[in-house]
Amino acid sequence: MSNQDWANANPERLYVISGGRDRKSATAGFDLVTLVVARARPEPTMQPEHAAILRICGSPLSVAEISAYLRLPNSLVTVLLADLLAERRIEVRAPVPPAALPDLSLLEAVIHGLQRL
Amino acid sequence: MDFNGSEPRGPREAELLPATVATAVKVVVVGGFGVGKTTLVGAVSEIRPLTTEETMTEAGVGIDDLAGVERKNSTTVAMDFGRITISDELVLYVFGTPGQERFWFLWNGLFEGALGAVVLVDTRRLEVSFDVLGRLEDRGVPFVVALNAFPESPRYPVEELRAALDLPHHVPIVHCDARSRESSRDVLMALMRYLYDLAAQPAAAAQPVG
């Protein structure tokens, strides 16, 4: 495990970054593979974590990738993303809504894409 | 990350997704410790495999108390994942979970919305797969079973393994070498074809099997 510094060493820091908000409530609506694209530039007055997200999301990145690059837990990243979304600084592209069975054309596209790999 | 002046890490130029990508889908690779999940993810991924982590604070997780956390028991679960750009509009993420089986199902949203799962199996240690197979069946997550070829693994006939794992006849079982990009790709293809068949004939999966 590479990135345990954030949680084990300093739980207070997570609390500060999230502004003490309940992490569970903001997690709703973000999947691990929700794609995020920056729609604003980072500004010096911003919380550093918000600025860091905008900096790396020039091209679409999943929530999981943001969490990995920033070395922050997934649920904390979703809190930060909810802030940015409320301020319209990011655009989010939700994954295919969960369904009992996925769409045939979607599966065909994945099969064709894998064949080219 | 450390925000004390160091630049944030981020994707390399070659790892950027096209701006047109609109939809992401995910699959999950599960299996016992050391069975090759991270190897498989790394073999198929177009990016360096990354790690995302989550803290688990549910009551009952109850182990690995962290010094200084007075309120609840919590523990950290990490997942390695990779990415495959399918087209200009579609990207596939492949998540491989570590060998802490009891935590996979606590991770909110990991299986929710996943197209399906690959259960990676080491034929020398079939017993470690029973728990995960049962849990996937309980949750209705469609899956294929991939037998990772370790040099010293015995190669049993597939039907013998099917019986040993108590798998329904419609669940595909494939051999693979998780170190090989092509072989690991073929595992994902087997999953996608299975999902396609299920979606095309939904009744097939619902039939009771002997």
Q: Does A101 lie at the interface with B, CB-CB under 8 angstroms? A: yes
Set out the domains of chain B in order of their start, with CATH numbers.
Answer: 20-202 (3.40.50.300)
pTM beyond cutoff 0.80: yes
User: Which residue ranges make up each domain of chain A?
Assistant: 5-115
**CB of A73 closer than 8 Å to CB of A14:** yes
Give the pLDDT band (50/70/90) at residue B197: very high
Element spanning B195, H or E:
helix B181-200
Per-residue pLDDT tens digits for A38-73: 999 999 999 999 999 999 999 999 999 999 999 999
Residue B67 is predicted with a pLDDT of 46
State residue B113's pLDDT score. 86
pLDDT at B63: 44
CB pair distance less than 8 Å for A52 and B3: yes
Tell me B8's DSSP state. P
Which residues in chain B have their CB less than 8 angstroms from residue A91's CB?
none
- State the pLDDT at residue B138: 85
- Identity (one letter) of the amino acid at B129? S
Residues B57-79 have a mean pLDDT of 56
Q: Of B60, B136, B65, which Cα lies nearest the Cα of B97?
A: B136
Q: Amino acid letter at B77?
A: V
On the question of pLDDT at B60 being above 70, the answer is no
Residue in B with minimal Cα distance to A112: B86
Which helix H or strand E contains A48, and what residues bound it?
helix A48-56
How much is the ipTM here?
0.84
B25 pLDDT band (50/70/90 cuts)? very high
Q: Is A92 on the interface with B (CB under 8 A)?
A: no
Residue A104 to residue B196, Cβ atoms within 8 A: yes
Chain A residues lying within 8 Å of B64, measured CB to CB: none
Residue of A107, A112, A115 to mutate for B, most B C-beta atoms under 10 A: A107
At A12-39, the pLDDT tens digits run 666 666 766 654 554 568 999 999 999 9
Q: In this complex, is the C-beta atom of A29 within 8 Å of any C-beta atom belonging to chain B?
A: no
Which residue from A66, A13, A50, A101 is spatially nearest to B50, judged by alpha carbons?
A66
Residue with tokens 């769409």: A103
